[in-house]
Amino acid sequence: MCDGNAPGSKEEEQFFSPRKLLEEYDQKDKDEKKPRAKKARTLNYDSASSPNGKQDEKEEESADTSANEEANDELFSPALKLPRVSRSTSTSPPNARTRLESKFAHTTQPEEKIEEEAAEEEESVETEEQDDEDTTAPEQEFNPFYFMKTLPKYEDIVEGKRPISLPERSRNAPKICLVLDLDETLVHCSVDEVKNPHMQFPVTFNGVEYIVNVKKRPHMEYFLKRVSKLFEIVVFTASHKVYAEKLMNMLDPHRNLIKYRLYRDDCLDVFGNYLKDLNVLGRDLSKVLLVDNSPHAFGYQVNNGIPIETWYDDEADAELLNLLPFLESLVDVDDVRPIVEKQFQIQKLIDATPDEIV
């Protein structure tokens, strides 16, 4: 883990390429397959003995797991949903966190026909599983640039002006406002059990108290200490405040690093997706940057957005360090947008995306 000292330099590409990000989405099934996490731990677990023995234990575990999946779906930054394409749009690995929220349509599988002979039944099940894999495989594909291309016009979503969420910029504030995403950009959190969490804390959600396990991205602390001296720092998350505020209080208890915090209620809801509309900052957008692992989050301010690779548990990750030189080069510029546009070319990727994806 990192400390306050600057880590040694590495001979790597300085800046993260959005083309690499697109490859991450295209190849995530191959690169991000992981075994399912262990059953979540909840603080309301009933340990009383039952006359039904193991059967009750299995039912209890199933109930806990179901509640845990609901918390992962709703509590943290939610899976993305395309308004016009019936496919899963999550950028996360295929685990409980990637499931769509229950208010969206689910496909009900037909009941398996019971075969008279065990061999025939087994063959039937295998065939159904294969068909299911073939059916659901396309649902795990997601092109963020296609989503951004198909967004409705901003003025069709927002009537007038959105209310400002931050106080006015003080005279002694840094020139540039740096907005940072939280989940999978600075940390990875889960109510599933994780190996060697850096922090744990309880949170009550939908009447159930969960233990949230937190993993910090490598070099996160050094990164925050460095950028807090150069920029006005805002953390902007699509997660619920009940969770994110507790986490922020642990990461920055004295508010020395992060000036402001924005949550899901500050996001712009577009077809059930929570986009980060930078207009709510009340800052000159020529002097605003947003670092986010989900490029669709800055769909309405493309040239303010800096994509960073999604992080879950890679201890060798150095993306925050790699990003620092580019951020430092923007400290005194009058307009960050043409520089960000030239560096990452997000708009070109959007324009090059086909209007329809089969």
pLDDT category at 125 given cuts 50, 70, 90 is: low
Burial annotation 302-341 (CB, 10 A radius, 16+ → b, else e): bbbbbbbbbbbeeeebebbbbbbebbeebeeeeebbeebb
**Residue type at 348?**
K
Strands 208-216 and 187-190: antiparallel
181 is a catalytic site residue:
yes
Q: Are the beta carbons of 292 and 16 closer than 8 angstroms?
A: no
* Residue of 183, 192, 252, 277 with catalytic role: 183
The stretch 76-89 carries a mean pLDDT of 47
- Concatenated DSSP letters for 324-337? HHHHHTTTT-S-SH
Q: Which residue has the higher pLDDT, 128 or 38?
A: 128
**What is the tens place of the pLDDT at every residue in 318-328?**
999 999 999 99
- CA angle 160/269/344 to nearest 5° reads 95
The stretch 120-134 carries a mean pLDDT of 57
What mean pLDDT value characterizes the chain? Answer: 76
Q: Which residue has the higher pLDDT, 205 or 25?
A: 205
Give the model's pLDDT for residue 121.
Answer: 55
User: pTM of this prediction?
Assistant: 0.69
The stretch 33-60 carries a mean pLDDT of 44
What are 199's two structure tokens? 């922090």
**What is the tens place of the pLDDT at every residue in 204-236?**
998 999 999 999 999 999 999 999 999 999 999
Q: At which residue do the structure tokens 């208010």 appear? A: 103
183 is a catalytic site residue:
yes
pLDDT category at 68 given cuts 50, 70, 90 is: low
What are 99's two structure tokens? 């499931």
* Residue of 181, 192, 252, 292 with catalytic role: 181
Q: Domains plus CATH for the chain?
A: 35-358 (3.40.50.1000)
Q: Which residue has the higher pLDDT, 287 or 55?
A: 287
